[in-house]
């Protein structure tokens, strides 16, 4: 496949002013008539061919200004349409294609999901519908007419506002016409047709514009859509209040479908969602699901401004809409819930998903400069690190400066297909500042390491902080420049309060913000009356790996006293991580008892909210520890150490955990609010340690929790513990869960993921058996992500088993899935991204498995090939 380069960007020679689409829907032979109004740009030389993108298309007819084109006037292939010598004046091109939605297993373009016609066009799915300039900078005004059988497709939805509906005379068919007045790229096109029902609400924007909100689901699921509607209304209000952004159409429709590659899609006025991010009730959804729904509904809605009204010039600019919109959804959730807890959750996600990516063969800049398959770049780096970069801009400029920059961005670029440079320029101009050094974050990949050391001079009353940044080489970038790193900090005095300094020298320091610009900087703080413990990178102010240079005593001090909740949590994490690594190496960590005692205090601290205490108790995952070790990893040793540590903490603090567990009362009527969810999470975290302890009665307590559960959070949480710790009752629990939830796909996904994540001598056999279970299907991404993704993501010992069985299995299923759905296959095969960190025995097996994929006797998709080649590079 061709390497696409940012430097090759050129405007289209022709402009598509309007596009009028007619869909005659039939499961196996849908006809699409597309009428494009085109004109050449002023500088387009006469005779320049019009080249439109296609993908597996069949052309039925083509007319220019109403007349069929002669055969020699065009060339049509499944992946391209070339019109030779188009007119130099504005002209109309009518293109009729035929597509097969029922056979579309890739779930890109127009396809059928459970009998519902739906589309997914980002990034390049529209070219599977009709020939078009399928690129984000080709903005056009779309009108869509949908025709379908009325009985099986009573609901017909398109982008924009509804225009007209009616019967088609003499047939059982009907039609609907939708018009979207906002010019948009093809990736935001959508249509839905099917037998759906909806819940509705009336919304009035801040300026008084009425909007009809509808969430469409399969019949019978309407009671599970209420939380999504609630989240949507809150998102709309929040965007008005926080960014001054209002909705801009008469209707906003959301549709939930069961077969969907991504989480959801922000098509203009017609968001299409993976049903996992719409459907929830206490019986089938966990607190995390409720939170995820709130986030994703908000995220897609926020795209209306950051993504749709202002879109990307080309796909290299993906972070322009995704990083920014993730930042916006994170801020929304922080305002709706607990800000420190949300920050911890986001950093946990960043460190577990983005850090491994950035420290392995798949590392790439937030704004990449080349790709083979754009679908491979919907990554944690573009999304989550992209959001961190926006957050740093806010940290550097302050809330007001940030808002001024955003206001200018909306004002200046509304209706544009923009770039990261455009975005940064708005912050620079609105704040009269220079962000050129900061911008390196968009272009230089890799996770910087920040190493700190300090000394105190009692006589001079100075505290000296030495900070050194290094960024390891990443693919294509052997040498690194120093980053501009904003470090929020405090100098914590012996009484736990921050010490004020009288003067700081050696770096730009403003209040609690220190900005590093060089490889090595020494900052001297004056007027420091007693030796402080530095608390660095508060709120995780930059996406770096910090080596704080503190001893265990100091870390425990921060864990107990830091006024920054994030760093209290971080101190506990750092201690756990260091100790787990020592235990993995067979050593007994110093200061373990003191740490465990501090952990107990944090868990019992009534001044902290429940969710925070739950997070404080969280052990780093086996994957996190493997990443921290970084080379010659033995996942069995990590797993054994982590199990032993959990058991030890559980046994030492059993009484404490029991006390906390018993004292927390959760209201009897289920509510998904953050406070109630926090209580459930802390209870389950206590139960985790009690279950790990092996102490008599703990298994029965865990089983009792499972049996008494009246909501999915508790039921799934307790079942997971029974299975993880292989307790008596695990088998019964799995059976009871299956019996209760069989037939409810999203609930059974949880059952599959619990079974997939369980440590087990022969994990691959277990997974193989489960692929035969009626709850599983290779064709529905959610099922695959739950079972296979659960195995690859949570069963570290199983996937990285020294005999290579996990690697062999991943090679096998990658090849299997690639035949039907390359996007899903490619997502899974990314799990090989950590293979170079493993020990020699495992590396040999992983490399062989990767080579087997590459050399397989089948045509590999560009998606999978690109990932495998990068892994092997
Ligand atoms: N644009 C793809 C899905 C999302 O990030 O919202
Ligand atoms: Zn997005």
Contacts 24+ apart (CB under 8 A), 784-789: 784/817, 784/824, 784/828, 785/749, 785/824, 785/827, 786/749, 786/750, 786/752, 786/753, 786/756, 787/752, 787/753, 787/755, 787/756, 788/756, 788/813, 788/828, 789/753, 789/827, 789/828
Ligand 1: atom nearest CA of 263 is 3
Q: In this structure, are residues 750 and 789 in contact, taking their beta carbons and an 8 Å threshold?
A: no
The number of the ligand nearest the C-alpha atom of 322 reads: 2
The fold of the 449-542 domain, in CATH, is Immunoglobulin-like (2.60.40)
Res. 468: pLDDT tops 90: yes
For the chain, give every residue range classified as CATH 1.10.390.10: 311-443
Question: Encoding tokens for residue 147?
Answer: 């025709």
Question: Which residue's CA is the nearest one to ligand 1's atom 1?
Answer: 265
Question: Which residue's CA is the nearest one to ligand 1's atom 4?
Answer: 265
Residue by residue, DSSP assigns 622-681 as HHHHHHHH-SSB-HHHHHHHHHHHHHHHHHHTHHHHHHHHHH----SS---SHHHHHHHH
Q: In this structure, are residues 124 and 301 in contact, taking their beta carbons and an 8 Å threshold?
A: no
265 touches ligand 1 (CB under 6 Å): yes
For the chain, give every residue range classified as CATH 2.60.40.1840: 449-542
384 touches ligand 1 (CB under 6 Å): no
- Pocket test of ligand 1: the residue of 123, 263, 268, 293 to mutate, having most ligand atoms within 8 Å of its CB, is 263
User: Strand order in 449-457's β-sheet?
Assistant: 503-505, 520-526, 462-470, 449-457, 545-547
The model's confidence at residue 1, banded by pLDDT at 50, 70 and 90, is confident
262 touches ligand 1 (CB under 6 Å): yes
Ligand 1: atom nearest CA of 300 is 6
d(CA 314, CA 334): 31
Among candidate residues 554, 489, 501, the one with its CA nearest the CA of residue 530: 501
Which CATH number is associated with domain 311-443? 1.10.390.10
Question: Encoding tokens for residue 584?
Answer: 């993995």
Task: Using CB atoms within 10 Å of the CB of residue 461, give its burial: 0 to 12 exposed, 13 to 18 middle, 19+ buried.
Answer: middle
The number of the ligand nearest the C-alpha atom of 123 reads: 1
Question: Which residue's CA is the nearest one to ligand 1's atom 5?
Answer: 322
Instruction: Give the pLDDT score at 759.
Output: 84
Ligand 1: atom nearest CA of 307 is 1
pLDDT per position as a tens digit, 255-281? 999 999 999 999 999 999 999 999 999
**pLDDT mean over 831-839:** 98
749 touches ligand 1 (CB under 6 Å): no
Ligand 1: atom nearest CA of 265 is 3
Instruction: Give the pLDDT score at 705.
Output: 98
**pLDDT mean over 216-221:** 97
Q: In this structure, are residues 484 and 542 in contact, taking their beta carbons and an 8 Å threshold?
A: no
Instruction: Give the pLDDT score at 542.
Output: 99
Task: Using CB atoms within 10 Å of the CB of residue 454, give its burial: 0 to 12 exposed, 13 to 18 middle, 19+ buried.
Answer: buried
The model's confidence at residue 737, banded by pLDDT at 50, 70 and 90, is very high
How much of the chain exceeds pLDDT 70, in percent? 100
**pLDDT mean over 646-671:** 97
- Pocket test of ligand 1: the residue of 124, 264, 374 to mutate, having most ligand atoms within 8 Å of its CB, is 264
Instruction: Give the pLDDT score at 760.
Output: 87
d(CA 708, CA 485): 49
Output the average pLDDT for the chain: 98
C-alpha dist (Å) from residue 547 to 453, 468, 575, 641: 9, 10, 12, 22
328 touches ligand 1 (CB under 6 Å): no
Question: Encoding tokens for residue 643?
Answer: 């199990």
pLDDT per position as a tens digit, 785-817? 999 999 999 999 999 999 999 999 999 999 999
Who's near 385: CB < 8 A, 6+ residues apart?
323, 350, 354, 358, 366, 543
The alpha carbon of 118 is separated from its chain's Cα centroid by a whole number of angstroms, namely 22
Res. 731: pLDDT tops 90: yes
Who's near 128: CB < 8 A, 6+ residues apart?
54, 55, 56, 57, 99, 104, 106, 108, 109, 110
pLDDT per position as a tens digit, 495-508? 999 999 999 999 99
Question: Encoding tokens for residue 446?
Answer: 């890799």
For the chain, give every residue range classified as CATH 2.60.40.1730: 4-194
The alpha carbon of 716 is separated from its chain's Cα centroid by a whole number of angstroms, namely 23
Res. 128: pLDDT tops 90: yes
pLDDT per position as a tens digit, 386-408? 999 999 999 999 999 999 999 99
pLDDT per position as a tens digit, 38-95? 999 999 999 999 999 999 999 999 999 999 999 999 999 999 999 999 999 999 999 9
Ligand 1: atom nearest CA of 266 is 6
Question: Which residue's CA is the nearest one to ligand 1's atom 3?
Answer: 265
Ligand 1: atom nearest CA of 303 is 6
Ligand 1 centroid, distance to 383 Cα (angstroms): 9
Ligand 1: atom nearest CA of 326 is 5
Ligand 1: atom nearest CA of 299 is 6
Among candidate residues 334, 340, 225, the one with its CA nearest the CA of residue 290: 225
Ligand 2 centroid, distance to 610 Cα (angstroms): 30
Ligand 2 centroid, distance to 181 Cα (angstroms): 22
Who's near 6: CB < 8 A, 6+ residues apart?
314, 316, 368, 369, 370
Q: In this structure, are residues 83 and 69 in contact, taking their beta carbons and an 8 Å threshold?
A: yes
Ligand 2 centroid, distance to 187 Cα (angstroms): 12
Instruction: Give the pLDDT score at 769.
Output: 98
The alpha carbon of 149 is separated from its chain's Cα centroid by a whole number of angstroms, namely 37
- Pocket test of ligand 1: the residue of 136, 189, 297, 307 to mutate, having most ligand atoms within 8 Å of its CB, is 307
Ligand 1 centroid, distance to 262 Cα (angstroms): 7
Ligand 1 centroid, distance to 307 Cα (angstroms): 9
The model's confidence at residue 23, banded by pLDDT at 50, 70 and 90, is very high
266 touches ligand 1 (CB under 6 Å): yes
Q: CATH assignment of 4-194, given 3.90.1150.10, 3.40.50.1970, 2.40.50.90, 2.60.40.1730?
A: 2.60.40.1730
Q: In this structure, are residues 227 and 264 in contact, taking their beta carbons and an 8 Å threshold?
A: no
Per the model's pLDDT, the better-predicted residue between 1 and 685 turns out to be: 685
d(CA 439, CA 423): 11
The number of the ligand nearest the C-alpha atom of 387 reads: 2
Please give, one letter per residue, the 3-state secondary structure of 520-576.
EEEEEEECCCCCCEEEECHHHCCCCEEECCCCHHHHHHHHHHCCCHHHHHHHHHHHH
Q: Which residues are catalytic?
A: 300
**DSSP assigned state of 483:** P
Ligand 2 centroid, distance to 847 Cα (angstroms): 33
Alpha-carbon radius of gyration of the chain: 28
The number of the ligand nearest the C-alpha atom of 297 reads: 1
pLDDT per position as a tens digit, 346-381? 999 999 999 999 999 999 999 999 999 999 999 999
Residue by residue, DSSP assigns 746-803 as HHHHHHHHHHHHS--TTHHHHHHHHTTSTT--TTSHHHHHHHHHHHHHH-HHHHT-TT
Question: Which residue's CA is the nearest one to ligand 1's atom 2?
Answer: 265
Ligand 2 centroid, distance to 455 Cα (angstroms): 45
Ligand 2 centroid, distance to 708 Cα (angstroms): 38
299 touches ligand 1 (CB under 6 Å): yes
The number of the ligand nearest the C-alpha atom of 262 reads: 1
Ligand 2 centroid, distance to 300 Cα (angstroms): 6
Beta bridge partners of 273: 256, 264
d(CA 247, CA 212): 11
Among candidate residues 572, 617, 563, the one with its CA nearest the CA of residue 594: 572
- Pocket test of ligand 1: the residue of 121, 304, 322 to mutate, having most ligand atoms within 8 Å of its CB, is 322
Ligand 1: atom nearest CA of 262 is 3
312 touches ligand 1 (CB under 6 Å): no
134 touches ligand 1 (CB under 6 Å): no
d(CA 106, CA 104): 6
Instruction: Give the pLDDT score at 350.
Output: 98
Complex prediction ipTM: 1.00
122 touches ligand 1 (CB under 6 Å): yes
Please list, residue by residue across 715-749, b when 16 or more beta carbons sit within 10 angstroms of its beta carbon and e when fewer do. bbbbbbbbbbbebebbeebbebbeeebeebbbbbb
d(CA 424, CA 755): 46
pLDDT per position as a tens digit, 540-563? 999 999 999 999 999 999 999 999
- Pocket test of ligand 1: the residue of 120, 125, 265, 374 to mutate, having most ligand atoms within 8 Å of its CB, is 265
d(CA 788, CA 771): 9
pLDDT per position as a tens digit, 715-730? 999 999 999 999 999 9
Q: Are strands 251-257 and 210-218 parallel, antiparallel or unpaired?
A: parallel
Ligand 1 centroid, distance to 260 Cα (angstroms): 12
329 touches ligand 1 (CB under 6 Å): no
């Amino acid at each position: 496949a061709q390497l696409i380069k940012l430097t090759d960007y050129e405007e289209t020679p022709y402009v598509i002013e309007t596009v009028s689409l007619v869909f005659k829907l039939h499961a196996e032979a849908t006809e699409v008539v597309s009428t494009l109004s085109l004109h050449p740009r002023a500088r387009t030389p006469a005779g320049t061919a019009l080249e439109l993108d296609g993908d597996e298309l069949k052309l039925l007819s083509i007319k220019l200004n109403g007349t069929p084109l002669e055969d020699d006037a065009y060339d049509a292939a499944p992946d391209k349409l070339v019109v030779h010598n188009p007119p130099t004046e504005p002209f109309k091109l009518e293109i009729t294609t035929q597509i097969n939605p029922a056979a579309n297993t890739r779930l890109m373009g127009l396809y059928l999901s459970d009998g519902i016609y739906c589309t997914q066009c980002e990034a390049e799915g529209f070219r599977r519908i009709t020939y078009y300039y399928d690129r984000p900078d080709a903005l056009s005004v779309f009108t869509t007419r949908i025709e379908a059988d009325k009985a099986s497709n009573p609901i017909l939805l398109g982008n924009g506002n509804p225009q007209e509906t009616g019967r088609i005379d003499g047939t059982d068919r009907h039609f609907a016409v939708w018009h979207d007045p906002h010019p948009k790229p093809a990736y935001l096109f959508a249509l839905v047709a099917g037998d759906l029902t909806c819940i509705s609400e009336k919304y009035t924007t801040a300026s008084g514009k009425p909007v009809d909100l509808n969430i469409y689901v399969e019949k019978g699921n309407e009671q599970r859509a209420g939380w999504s509607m609630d989240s949507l209304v809150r998102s709309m209000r929040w965007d008005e209040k926080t960014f001054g952004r209002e909705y801009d159409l008469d209707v906003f429709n959301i549709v939930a479908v069961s077969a969907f590659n991504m989480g959801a899609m922000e098509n203009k006025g017609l968001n299409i969602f993976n049903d996992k991010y719409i459907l929830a009730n206490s019986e089938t959804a966990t607190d995390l699901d409720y939170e995820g729904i709130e986030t994703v509904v908000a995220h897609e809605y926020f795209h209306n401004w950051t993504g749709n009204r202002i879109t990307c010039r080309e796909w290299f600019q993906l972070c322009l809409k995704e990083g920014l919109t993730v930042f916006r959804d994170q801020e929304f959730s922080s305002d709706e819930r607990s800000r420190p807890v949300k920050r911890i959750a986001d950093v946990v996600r960043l460190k577990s998903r983005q850090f491994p990516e950035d420290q392995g063969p798949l590392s790439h800049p937030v704004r990449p400069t080349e790709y083979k398959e754009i679908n491979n770049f919907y990554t944690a780096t573009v999304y989550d690190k992209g959001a961190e970069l926006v957050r740093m801009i806010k940290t550097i400029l302050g809330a007001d400066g940030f808002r001024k920059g955003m206001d200018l961005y909306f004002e200046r670029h509304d209706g544009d297909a923009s770039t990261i440079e455009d975005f940064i320029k708005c912050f620079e101009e609105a704040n009269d500042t220079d962000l050129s050094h900061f911008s390196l974050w968009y272009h230089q990949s890799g996770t910087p390491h920040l190493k700190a050391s300090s000394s105190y001079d009692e006589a001079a009353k100075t505290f000296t902080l030495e900070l050194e940044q290094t960024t390891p080489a990443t693919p294509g970038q052997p040498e690194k420049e120093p980053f501009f790193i904003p470090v929020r900090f405090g100098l914590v005095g012996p009484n736990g309060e921050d010490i004020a300094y009288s003067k700081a020298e050696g770096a730009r320091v403003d209040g609690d913000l220190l900005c590093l610009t060089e490889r090595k900087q020494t900052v001297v703080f004056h007027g420091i009356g007693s030796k402080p413990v530095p608390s660095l990178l508060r709120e995780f102010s930059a996406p770096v790996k910090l080596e704080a240079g503190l001893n265990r005593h100091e870390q425990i001090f921060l864990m107990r006293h830091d006024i920054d909740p994030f760093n209290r949590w971080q101190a506990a994490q750092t201690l756990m991580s260091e100790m787990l690594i020592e235990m993995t190496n067979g050593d007994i960590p110093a200061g373990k008892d003191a740490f465990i005692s501090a952990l107990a205090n944090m868990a019992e601290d009534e001044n902290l909210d429940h969710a925070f205490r739950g997070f404080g108790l969280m052990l780093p995952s086996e994957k996190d520890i493997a990443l921290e070790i970084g080379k010659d990893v033995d996942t069995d040793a990590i797993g054994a150490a982590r199990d032993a540590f959990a058991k030890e903490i559980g046994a030492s603090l059993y009484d404490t955990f029991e006390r906390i567990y018993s004292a927390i009362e959760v209201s009897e009527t289920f509510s998904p609010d953050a406070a109630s969810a926090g209580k459930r999470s802390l209870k389950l975290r206590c139960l985790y340690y009690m279950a790990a302890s092996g102490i008599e009665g703990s298994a029965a307590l865990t089983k009792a929790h499972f049996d008494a559960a009246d909501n999915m959070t508790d039921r799934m949480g307790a079942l997971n513990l029974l299975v993880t710790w292989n307790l008596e009752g695990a088998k019964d629990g799995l059976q009871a869960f299956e019996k209760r939830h069989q037939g409810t796909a999203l609930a059974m996904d949880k059952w599959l993921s619990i079974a997939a994540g369980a440590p087990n001598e022969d994990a691959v056999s277990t997974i193989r058996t489960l692929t035969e279970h009626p709850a599983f299907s290779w064709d529905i991404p959610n099922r695959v992500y739950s079972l296979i993704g659960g195995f690859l993501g949570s069963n570290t010992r199983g996937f990285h088993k020294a005999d290579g069985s996990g690697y062999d299995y991943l090679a096998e299923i990658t090849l299997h899935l690639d035949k039907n759905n390359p996007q899903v296959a490619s997502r899974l095969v990314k799990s090989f991204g950590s293979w170079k960190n493993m020990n020699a025995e495992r590396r040999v097996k992983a490399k062989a498995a990767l080579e087997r994929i590459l050399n397989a006797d089948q045509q590999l998709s560009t998606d999978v090939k690109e990932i495998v080649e990068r892994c092997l590079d």
